[in-house]
Chain A
Amino acid sequence: MFTLLLKKLAALIPTLLGVTLVAFALIRLIPGDPIEIMVGERRLDEAARTALMAQLGLDQPLHVQYGRYVLQLLQGDLGKSLVTREPVSAEFAVLFPATVELALAALVLALVLGLPLGIAAALKRGSWFDQLVMALATVGNSMPVFWWGLILIMFFSVGLEWTPVSGRIGIEYDVDTVSGFMLVDSALADLRGQESGAFASAVLHLLLPATVLGTIPMAVVARMTRSAMLDVLREDYMRTARAKGLSPARVIVHHGLRNALIPVVTVLGLQVGSLLGGAVLTETIFSWPGIGKWLIDAIARRDYPVVQAGILISALVFIGVNLCVDLLYGVVNPRLRGGGH
């Protein structure tokens, strides 16, 4: 297993290098004065300009600049925001957990609702339930995330006033940042008796954005699970399981689902990609302070170091998640373990 991990990591190195190369090139491809783009200073006199260029290494040949860039990356230096003048990595560290929390909540929702619906639809194949689930899944798959968010806001936040419109927690609460995950931090504050009701507020704030973000993955998971389950139900080993006198529940879960989940895992990696892209849109609609919103604001404000860092980090996260899914797939599918006939 460990050697497998090393092998996969080694295979990723060219891709990682390529990604850093693209991020490096990104900022230099933008038309305009590089000093202005990278540092935000303009109308400098010649001396100051030359000094700044030397300081930034912009007078060096490209491959030296690239080497310098990679070195900085390895040290965790992502540059400074042109707008706030703060190190990008510091801003990122604050905002990243918010996006992770949102994405995880969405993924959990997608699995918790999508898996059972898919299984039930497969078991009741052809029934009105099956057709309804499939119809909903097809619609969910075709849904523009940002519009869906607006509709839900219109209905639940504005119409019924059940959920808030923006932010991670009510502004009346002052919660210390311990983990960066609002659910955790607010629960801690609640338990300490400092801010009662904080946790409930955090949950309410998370509910709608997570639902919106999780809708497409939920639809995909439901369809995939149903299709995988239908395939599995026809397999001979299901008949053997029943011939062993096992209860129907055990046959479906221990024998059926165990194998049906294998193709579903392959779909998970893609869904995380959808979550990352969707997070950008969801955070924009709900003013959720995560890296998606940060990235979009940065593009609007021409804060190029932030844009560069945002793209790079998104790529690294996506690659990392896909690696994990790959490994998970190897674990879940014994046929990949070799020694076969």
Chain B
Amino acid sequence: MTALLEVRNLRVDFGGFTAVDGVDFDVAEGELLGIVGESGSGKSVSMLAVMGLIDAPGVVTADAVRFAGHDLLAMSPAQRRRHIGKDIAMVFQDALNSLNPSHTVGDQVREVLRVHLGLRGAALETRVLELFELVEIPAARQRLRSFPHQMSGGMNQRVMIAMAIACQPRLLIADEPTTALDVTIQAQVMDLLSRLQREQGLSLVLITHDLAVVAEMASIVRHSVAVMYAGQVVETGSVDSLFDSPRHPYTAALLDALPEHNRGARRLAALPGIVPGRHDRPRGCLLAPRCPRVQVRCVGERPALLDGVRCFFPVTHG
């Protein structure tokens, strides 16, 4: 059966710098896709490209970006706007800065409902209140009149989520939703997201660099994780398979660097070198300059994504 979101060979170029280098994603109905990677891996840019939020000088190309059968890239901007915010919604990282400081949070949620669903008057007010209560904002009725700077980071993030799920989207993309928050609030927001996913049956794409967040995804039955490096997907799998038996050297290195795996060591295990930038993109495998398992073939050829791993010499587990 066709996936809700199908992305084939997505490329995003910024005037010579390839931020996203031919990635494929599939998200089924009710599924959770986790995208993991460090800064610069292209994880946020790829989802922004799906939403149509990449501006010049960025150029987005793909073989297909299909949402519920519609080709998002082929659509006119006006057509795409009918889906964005309604059927596909996105939640961003820094909620305080992602909300308009001059409008009340209530008004900002009302806006989506008005524009996409045409709600007015009493129906509008009821729905807004409902949403605020759904995302567990206490004293919801008073809070509707607050401005973002009058609320905490966690509250603002809930407002963002309320805004995103307002029109009951089929797909919710959350770009590092907990990074800017305290640890305790992180847990609350993650709980909220999983609860919404269960109750509303929405598909969730969760972008993060935090493996702890990834680990929590394990509890969700239908999930898949993609690990990105330097604009490519290097491994896919379930949380358990990734954590217990990582096949790509990069994934293995990520896990090795976790403090839990470095008890008693003097330094965290880390790959030498840094992510390739604009001017030093390797001809062969992108990890080759840093990979402990590198062979001659890796330097000259680029591996394709085969059976969920992009490596000529993946790590094997007995």
Which residues of A come within 8 Å of B, CB atoms? Answer: 235-237, 239-247, 250, 255, 258-259, 262, 332-335, 337, 339-341
Report the separation of the CA atoms of residues A245 and B82 in the bound assembly, to the nearest whole angstrom: 6
Shortest distance in angstroms between A59's beta carbon and chain B's nearest beta carbon? 60
Query: Could you say which of A236, A240, A333, A340 contacts B102, with CB atoms under 8 Å apart?
Result: A333
Number of interface residues of B (CB under 8 A): 32
User: What residues of chain A lie closer than 8 Å to B144, measured between beta carbons?
Assistant: none
Tell whether A244 pairs with B149 under 8 Å between CB atoms, given A236-B98, A258-B102: no
B97 and A236 form a contact (CB under 8 A): yes
Query: In the complex, which residues 53-111 of chain B have their Cβ closer than 8 Å to any Cβ of chain A?
Result: 53, 80-86, 89-90, 92, 94, 97-103, 111
A247 and B81 form a contact (CB under 8 A): yes
A243 and B84 form a contact (CB under 8 A): yes
Which residues of B come within 8 Å of A, CB atoms? Answer: 51, 53, 80-86, 89-90, 92, 94, 97-103, 111-112, 115-116, 146-147, 149-152, 160, 163
Tell whether A246 pairs with B101 under 8 Å between CB atoms, given A334-B149, A340-B150, A341-B152: no
User: What residues of chain A lie closer than 8 Å to B90, measured between beta carbons?
Assistant: 243
Report the separation of the CA atoms of residues A337 and B146 in the bound assembly, to the nearest whole angstrom: 10
CB-nearest residue of chain B to A242: B53
A241 and B152 form a contact (CB under 8 A): no
The 4 tightest CB contacts between A and B, nearest first, are A245-B85, A244-B85, A245-B84, A236-B97
Query: Could you say which of B92, B97, B146, B149 contacts A335, with CB atoms under 8 Å apart?
Result: B149
Shortest distance in angstroms between A237's beta carbon and chain B's nearest beta carbon? 5
B100 and A241 form a contact (CB under 8 A): yes
Shortest distance in angstroms between B234's beta carbon and chain A's nearest beta carbon? 27
Sample 20 A-B pairs with CB under 8 A, ordered by A number. Answer: A235-B97, A237-B97, A237-B98, A237-B99, A239-B53, A239-B98, A240-B100, A242-B53, A243-B92, A244-B111, A245-B82, A245-B84, A245-B85, A245-B116, A246-B115, A259-B100, A262-B102, A335-B101, A337-B150, A341-B149
CB-nearest residue of chain A to B116: A245
B115 and A244 form a contact (CB under 8 A): yes
Report the separation of the CA atoms of residues A262 and B89 in the bound assembly, to the nearest whole angstrom: 29
User: What residues of chain B lie closer than 8 Å to A243, measured between beta carbons?
Assistant: 51, 53, 84-85, 89-90, 92
Shortest distance in angstroms between A124's beta carbon and chain B's nearest beta carbon? 12
Shortest distance in angstroms between A288's beta carbon and chain B's nearest beta carbon? 39
User: What residues of chain A lie closer than 8 Å to B116, measured between beta carbons?
Assistant: 245
Report the separation of the CA atoms of residues A205 and B314 in the bound assembly, to the nearest whole angstrom: 84
A340 and B84 form a contact (CB under 8 A): no
Give the most central of A250, A339, A341: most B CB within 10 Å. Answer: A341
Query: Could you say which of A245, A247, A341 contacts B150, with CB atoms under 8 Å apart?
Result: A341
